[in-house]
């Protein structure tokens, strides 16, 4: 098989199936007014609440996504209590797809994970990363060195998801393997690529199944996670 930047080229059927799923699950930050979650001691405690409308299987997918941050960062998701002013609320709203606010907001904030559309491990991680303050990879300040954005192929109402921002990339390189990177046909209006690799037009990416090493490093650098437990920390489930 051909190898490029750590990715195996997929068969056409695999590409088609993955494209269909990723078109549905591409997350979109609602706004950029957020800020970092506060740190207490060695950990950043983020209260969470899961809507009771999710099935047990769906809740377990969300829980697994939350727990993945406990393994490799100092982020700790804790059950919401009435004394918590700021928290994230996982909720399914028909027509809302998969989306999250960018960073901590004032009061409760939704992470929308629509049933039958968004409940994949990578999508849960993607939306949580938005809530922790992280943009999509393809809008980072250094993106023009690595990709071309083909706005003529992008649905006009989705163009904001591709506009470059001035970002602090925390000393990490541009990452095609990031769970925050759209695939090359994301939000295409005509079936043509919307993002292409500057060095290889035919390179396929955007199929990450979980956070990359750079995704994890960015969380740890932003939140200054110097001492964190690498062991799985089980969550108390709150519905």
Q: Identify the active-site residue in 127, 137, 157, 204.
A: 127
Q: Is 57 annotated in the active site? A: no
Q: Which residues contact 192 (CB under 8 A, 6 or more apart)?
A: 150, 153, 185
Cα gap 182→29, rounded to integer Å: 13
In terms of C-beta density within 10 A (0-12 exposed, 13-18 middle, 19 or more buried), how is residue 33 classed?
exposed
Among candidate residues 3, 2, 10, 1, the one with its CA nearest the CA of residue 183: 10
Helix (H, G, I), strand (E, B) or coil at 88: strand
- At 213, which helix (H) or strand (E)? helix 213-222
Among candidate residues 127, 140, 202, the one with its CA nearest the CA of residue 175: 140
Catalytic residues: 127
């Amino acid at each position: 098989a051909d190898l490029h930047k750590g990715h195996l080229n997929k068969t056409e059927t695999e590409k088609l199936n993955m494209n269909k799923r990723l078109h549905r699950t591409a997350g979109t930050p609602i706004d950029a007014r957020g800020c970092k979650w506060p740190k207490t001691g060695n950990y950043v405690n983020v209260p969470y609440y899961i809507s009771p409308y999710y099935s047990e299987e769906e809740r377990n997918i969300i829980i697994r996504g939350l727990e993945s941050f406990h393994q490799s960062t100092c982020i700790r998701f804790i059950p919401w209590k009435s004394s918590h002013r700021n928290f994230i609320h996982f909720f399914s709203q028909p027509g809302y797809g998969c989306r999250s606010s960018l960073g901590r907001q004032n009061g409760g904030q939704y992470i929308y994970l629509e049933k039958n559309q968004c409940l994949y491990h990578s999508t849960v991680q993607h939306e949580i990363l938005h809530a922790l303050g992280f943009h999509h990879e393809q809008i980072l300040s250094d993106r023009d060195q690595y990709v071309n954005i083909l706005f003529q192929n992008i649905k006009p109402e989705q163009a904001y998801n591709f506009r470059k921002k001035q970002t602090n990339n925390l000393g990490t390189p541009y990452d095609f393997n990031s769970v925050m990177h759209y695939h090359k046909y994301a939000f295409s209006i005509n079936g043509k690529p919307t993002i292409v690799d500057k060095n290889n037009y035919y390179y396929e990416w955007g199929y990450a199944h979980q956070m990359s090493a750079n995704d994890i490093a960015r969380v740890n650098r932003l939140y200054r996670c110097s001492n964190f437990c690498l062991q799985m920390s089980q969550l108390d489930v709150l519905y």
